[in-house]
Structure 1
């Protein structure tokens, strides 16, 4: 272990800034092999600890608990490591390849389910030669893309019980999130294959429709934007079930003084599920929403509730869509159904709700315009966009054809 630690120290001390691509890739390849070999030793040692009851030495019942506490691992990572150690005990060919660095820990985790008790029993009942399965899956994991391994393992497990009951796809579906102090959400999603296919199909349609020039978002960022857009479309369609006698909508509560104040006003508005946002963000949401005036008494009790008014009536939106045909921010062009109607001069500051004072902007660029960017329609009907520093955004002209 001391020699291993010394070797890692030597590797960490090596300079990489002056290395060339081929040299770096060769180094990376050898490091990945070493990583696989170390992962194999970790899994083997975890299994040995489990068999010896070593966790009891530190007053813990299981190795998963020990890994969570002493290894500072998540529940899923600790449980996966324990499963890998148990699986390798049943699959000697896989264990040998993993120890040699030919197979990754991820591949071991993919194959591990075949060693669950019910699957081993089913294999024995069917006369399956587990040693042959071990060899074939190991060869596949060492030579083929990971996606192929996933498909073969799934096919193998399905073949163990071809006449078994079809599982309920809803049983394994999970969607959980945690709301943070600033109102943002972090979540975890688990879907069955059919449910996942539906989600991907819906999001991919929005992703492809929303592709525009100069889009530098990562794939995860674009998918998250598409998910929000999917929610926007459903809320706008008005076909969702009613919630406490009211159609579901994004609710924002803000004082009239903060609404008309041109300042940012952090923490000035409250959303329906309790999150707090700035007055600037509230004005952005109100651009293409509906406004209800509520007069409160000194004790905070409502004294009067005025009629709800749509900021942009349907007939005006149709006219803006007809004129602009999509997001007017230079280089975008996202389709109309992605867009809000933005007031060039905010309606809360006295701007008219009119065709001349309106522009279609997608969510991404609507946010930009409320944070310093500016769009303007010229007399010839063309839209132009300026950055916060006053410089104009131009589309790169195509190179002149050679004469």
Structure 2
């Protein structure tokens, strides 16, 4: 069996880590904690350099074969629990330290972070080293300069310097196809939520950032406590909403792309039903409350199923909110009527104040515009109401009213007038 100790130095390191873990941090003040953190970060950088150096030697000696694996990347995934990206990055960093001594020295000294080493690693790729040699480039001098930048400049600056160097190696080469640099992976989880992972080229990334930022900056209601990440995610969903509503996306098998929800009528009208009452087109399950929200301003198709689930009758599809009614609601409300929100009308759904599935009319008096965020809020306990004078008021789930600002005489108003 292989020893887990490795060497006396590793054993001493493990003992030192045990001592650190035993230290009580409670009651220490900020400056003392920051001093401790600074030392730990330097030590962490140094340790990461040793890990990368060792991975490189394992690669050169084909150590992974000892455990029946072909590469160190696969060993790191299987034995150390690394993700594929992290394993590849560590292997690349080990190769870079072997080829760029100045960077290795800075990393071993702890003045360059593992992220900095990974950023420099493309310089040591075989094709780039070959190009540098063919052009008489002093790679050692380049490495020394990169080590200086990595140790003294922000990470973003280091990335720019590395990119500039690599671009100068092949100034007359063909312009890369930007589509080859783009990827998007959508991973669906058990609860129906999704995670996004992707890469975009510089131009594609700029387009996406410009579009998301335009929506993020245009919808910043007072009292908004969302994080920057939440605002960007909401903006991305709003982009999808806008495109789906525009009806200009490519047709899928004779049908325009749309959000599909299948829900039994009994579940739709009964708010006490469980969280998995509705099933969406790509397989996610949602609650009856969420289904009612989507059904506020959608197209409904009645399908009668037999006892074994076979369709027996297909009713004609009809739009819950017809176009002429939506135009009237937009003209009256002008945008989202939730207190403090200034989202424009084209970002909004038409909300039934009393849901049509519960007997509410599809009429101007029973309708109000709500953006996606606040439409969700209203279907999860918040409440809106239009006053006889045309103003909208908003209440929280606990019954307290959301007030924007006081007026003279103690009166308040909360949202736009209709």
Counterpart-to-counterpart distance in 2, 1:171 and 1:293:
44
Provide the residue aligned with 2:190 in structure 1: 181
Q: Secondary structure at the match of 1:340?
A: strand
1:365-376 equivalences in 2 (<5 Å): 365-376=374-385
Counterpart-to-counterpart distance in 2, 1:47 and 1:298:
63
Provide the residue aligned with 2:99 in structure 1: 90
CA RMSD across the alignment: 1.8
Matched, 1:231 2:240: yes
Q: Secondary structure at the match of 1:320?
A: helix
Counterpart-to-counterpart distance in 1, 2:152 and 2:197:
32
Counterpart-to-counterpart distance in 1, 2:277 and 2:57:
58
Provide the residue aligned with 1:246 in structure 2: 255
Q: CA deviation at 1:250?
A: 0.9
TM-score computed with the length of structure 1 as normaliser: 0.94
Provide the residue aligned with 2:156 in structure 1: 147
1:106-185 equivalences in 2 (<5 Å): 106-185=115-194
Counterpart-to-counterpart distance in 2, 1:37 and 1:226:
41
Provide the residue aligned with 2:404 in structure 1: 395
Counterpart-to-counterpart distance in 2, 1:385 and 1:15:
49
Provide the residue aligned with 2:361 in structure 1: 352
Q: Secondary structure at the match of 1:70?
A: helix
1:256-295 equivalences in 2 (<5 Å): 256-295=265-304
Q: Secondary structure at the match of 2:178?
A: coil
Q: CA deviation at 1:238?
A: 0.6
Q: Secondary structure at the match of 2:31?
A: helix
Selected match of 1:51 from 60, 76, 89? 60
Bigger shift: residues 338-347 or 64-73: 64-73
Provide the residue aligned with 2:226 in structure 1: 217
Structure 2 residue ranges without an equivalent (≥5): 1-9, 408-418
Pair 395,103 (structure 1): closer, same or farther in 2 beyond 3 Å: same
Counterpart-to-counterpart distance in 2, 1:303 and 1:57:
62
Provide the residue aligned with 2:84 in structure 1: 75
TM-score computed with the length of structure 2 as normaliser: 0.90
Counterpart-to-counterpart distance in 2, 1:288 and 1:303:
26
Q: CA deviation at 1:6?
A: 2.5
Q: Secondary structure at the match of 2:192?
A: coil
Matched, 1:377 2:386: yes
Pair 27,334 (structure 1): closer, same or farther in 2 beyond 3 Å: farther
Q: Secondary structure at the match of 2:181?
A: coil
Q: CA deviation at 1:133?
A: 0.2
Provide the residue aligned with 2:348 in structure 1: 339
Provide the residue aligned with 2:48 in structure 1: 39
Provide the residue aligned with 1:401 in structure 2: none
Residue correspondences, number:
398
Matched-pair contact (CA < 8 Å) for 1:89–1:95: yes
Counterpart-to-counterpart distance in 2, 1:319 and 1:20:
61
Provide the residue aligned with 1:21 in structure 2: 30
Q: CA deviation at 1:298?
A: 4.5
Moved over 6 A (4+): none
Counterpart-to-counterpart distance in 2, 1:29 and 1:212:
40
Counterpart-to-counterpart distance in 1, 2:405 and 2:14:
53
Q: CA deviation at 1:395?
A: 2.8
Bigger shift: residues 29-38 or 97-106: 29-38
Matched, 1:361 2:370: yes
Counterpart-to-counterpart distance in 1, 2:19 and 2:402:
49
Matched-pair contact (CA < 8 Å) for 1:265–1:280: no
Pair 265,68 (structure 1): closer, same or farther in 2 beyond 3 Å: closer
